[in-house]
Amino acid sequence: MSTLDPGLEPPGDWQSSYPPVPGGPGGGSGGGGPTEATGKAAVYVWLCAGLSLAMSCCCVLSAIGMKYLPKGELMRQVPADMPNRDMIEQVLPMMAVAMGVAGVLLLLIPAVVLGVLGFTVRSGNRGAAIASMVILGIQGAAIGLLVVMNLIGSLVSRSAGDLLGVVILAGVFAVYVKAMTALWSSLSQKPHSGLPPAGPWGA
């Protein structure tokens, strides 16, 4: 039986009016539960997963084409006056294998992992958000490097097609940067302590 003054007794189940303790029952493992920021971050994670899947398909299809198309057809795309043209023809098989492996290891597998992590990011799991940032950071750095390399190549070749590829890659890179920003915002939010404010019946 409570020894408090009846006039100071909290009405009903006062604990039910407060959100669950982060990491506790209903609060999600390692997070403060779903919020608008975590929902936005999850959408960006899924968007990057889709972009990664699309890029992996492009890499794998390009690798298959380089592997099985006649070398004559492929070499037609290489300018006749290009330095080391013969060397390019010799390394085409190795380039096909490298592109296929990169498409699977660096794009396809991370796409699947990001797709799964998106659900836990949405629920407010901080560990999933950090893991997503690591994956997106690695992929984003690689995409940024490709943007710089392709930009230099387009300036040298003065090809409109190469410049279009730079624009597309730059757009993808911008999405990755936006996703990293959204994930950081979701991590920066202070979770609710889940404890009631001090009242007359408890300090």
Give me the half-sphere count of Cα atoms (radius 13 Å) on the Cβ side of residue 136.
33
pLDDT in tens, 32-68: 678 889 999 999 999 999 999 999 998 888 888 777 7
pLDDT in tens, 72-105: 666 666 666 666 666 666 677 787 788 888 888 8
Distances from the Cα of 53 to the Cα of 56, 60, 82, 168, angstroms: 5, 11, 33, 15
Q: Compute φ and ψ for 188, nearest 5 degrees.
A: -75, -15
Q: Spell out the residues 6+ positions from residue 78 whose beta carbon is closer than 8 angstroms to its own.
A: 85, 88
pLDDT in tens, 5-17: 555 555 555 455 5
